[in-house]
Structure 1
């Protein structure tokens, strides 16, 4: 495991340090899950307080939430990255190089890691930082634990996916390009991301009309992948037609 930690630090130094694209990617991920969890415990909305003590406690708890969660999320991501490397380095893991150029292969990584893991992902990615946030959150907010553990597990699996991306770069391999739609320029032959929780695929495409199927990200539904949420129809119309 020490070798994995050393390698993960070397990879991060090579691909992530002073990398604005990575910083934007990880910050966007953390902010998305922060808002998701904060909304669940109702700390984002304005509220009235019965007394100053209650107001002070609420604000102190919210400030601690805002401080502890980003640090915990970053550590979950790093542990997931290490988990991904450990999976790739395991003697029983055999991945043909052509799969590293397959755009949909990365979607299979969460399944493979979860199936290979002896314990749940959340148990495997615990750190001092995630534990500090977890203890605080469970003691402070009712019914937060299931969603919190799910979120840290998802963040970790995003880290594992990035380990695969960096492995591909180390091998000098690139994801194969594919066709995109005319109207919105999204991929036709693969899943694409709407939010960290939702992916989509094109089920119909014309010059002026597209239909997308929206699905839960497989990290949320490992036991039942590709659960459809909705279908979205996008139609192009000239401005003159809209104003009629």
Structure 2
């Protein structure tokens, strides 16, 4: 009797249809390969990504949950791993892969501006700093050091702060520029409030840095302020 029950159960299991998302994965891969990534919606791109390291689960609800929590692809890539794992279906492995893809994106951006003059590839530079800083929750002050050909030497964080302030020391920036033998630099920081409009303090610290660098014949090309709504240039605004 036990043997008959066992055989019957096995027959029933063998006839169980595969989960609906098996066919969906195949269709999504085919769509990507034949029509290109531009044919996919944002959540579908996320699905393709998640399919690689979540093999036995419908990943569409996970992709939708990521979108709902972070509101944009850039915010998902910028999110800390401890925030990513709060989404149902995202474990430490999935979070690690997402952060690795984010870092690949950042390194590709640095390569793009490093291979050409930063001044002549301004749109690439703006895209790079916005990608790096628009979703930062704390204010961060960075300096992009350039050589005599205006090519990237280093993008370095020179100050970490709170939601509305990051300490900046003009003499420290001058010292670092001399160490790197930089000929010029671009100042960059973010406004976690989202509004990139320069404050009086932003203008004053920019002028202090310019004054600190002047004796060494090191110029400041611009000071870029990054917010979720865009990037403001003090030079374009006539403030430096």
Interval of TM-score (by shorter of Structure 1 and Structure 2) = under 0.3
**TM-score where L is the length of structure 1:** 0.25
**TM-score where L is the length of structure 2:** 0.25
Structure ID, larger Rg: 2
Q: Which has the higher contact order (CA 8 A, sep 6+)?
A: 1
